[in-house]
Amino acid sequence: MTDIFSRNLKRLRTEKNYTQEEAARLLGVTAQTVSRWECGTTLPDVMLLPEIARLYCVAVDDLYRENADAYENYAQRLAAVYEQTGKPEDFLRADEEFRKLVNSGKYSANDLRLYGIAHQQMMNYCMRKARELYDRGMAETAKDDPMFWRIKRQKVYFESFTGRSRESIDLQLKAMEQDGNNVEEWITTICAYTSAGETETAYEWFRKAAERFPDNAMLYAYGGDLSRALGKTADAFEYWNRSIELDDTFLDAWFSKGFCYEELGEYGKAYAVWTHLAEEIKGRGLTHETAFPLKLAEKCAEKIREKQG
């Protein structure tokens, strides 16, 4: 093992075109020390191994492997490690090193390619993990628990992001066949079509659902959003107001009204919505969450001052 280590040190140094003196200077030791390492008469302190590996663009384990390859830079080596293991912690190590490389400006087109591949691999991992967690959350939650439906609808939006909108819609239509009297299934079906970009179809489902379930606040909040998307602004406010009338603690309709007022340039009305939401959220003990509506309120206040001034 010592022979392999010493041979690797010499070979990796020469492959990187360093003299013993240059390697010694970069590692903060003497040239004689580097020479003794390469001859196998002494070994470096274990705390110095990461620095040696980084200098020669390999992992520490590579120093003890037969015929270890030197990479163009340390980031590329860490990317190769992540490609083999697929572990999130190895991605984070590679990401940190690539960020340093990019910030230094000393990167190549190949570095950007490999950095992109690492992110793509991590993205695939995250998508698999998200799907697994959503499925587990639904499996471990009773259908009469509102959290079950929050998870299910979040998964519907997620599947649209991953390009599986049609599959999500088909699954939801099957669920409707089994439990078509459940308003939550209707709302989830509307979500499935909405997230797939099929706004007209989603609106048709809303209209049918509103006839069957005229007292559901969440349903009308979705109806308002769909109406706004279809350019039916008057209808949108009618549905949002109906949602608030049914349950003024359901905040989705309030947020939708605020954003729509901003879009229409009615900043005074939008300001009133954002300040109301800030007070409502604060009253629930969610101090940090008040920052968002307060920021929106301040933006509207600036617009009002601009108009006045």
Percent of the chain exceeding pLDDT 90 equals 77
Q: How confident is the model at residue 257 (pLDDT cuts 50, 70, 90)?
A: very high
Question: Is residue 98 within 8 Å of 79, Cβ to Cβ?
Answer: yes
* pLDDT > 70: percent of the chain: 99
Residues 142-226, CATH architecture: Alpha Horseshoe (1.25)
- What are the pLDDT digits (tens) for 199-225? 999 999 999 999 999 999 999 999 999
Q: What CA–CA distances, in Å, run from 75 to 69, 96, 110, 167, 295? A: 14, 8, 11, 39, 39
What is the reported pLDDT for 2? 67
pLDDT, position 1: 56
What is the per-residue pLDDT across 115-135, written as a single tens digit (0 to 9) for each? 999 999 999 999 999 999 999
CATH number of 1-70: 1.10.260.40
Q: What digits encode the pLDDT tens for the residues 170-195?
A: 999 999 999 999 999 999 999 999 99
Short-list 13, 61, 15, CA closest to 33? 13
How many Cβ atoms are within 10 Å of 123's Cβ, its own excluded? 11
- For residue range 16-67, list pLDDT tens digits in order: 788 999 999 999 999 999 999 988 889 898 899 988 988 888 888 888 887 7
Q: Domain boundaries in the chain?
A: 1-70, 73-140, 142-226, 251-309
Domains 1-70 and 142-226 in one fold: no
As a whole number of angstroms, the distance between CA 193 and CA 201 comes to 7
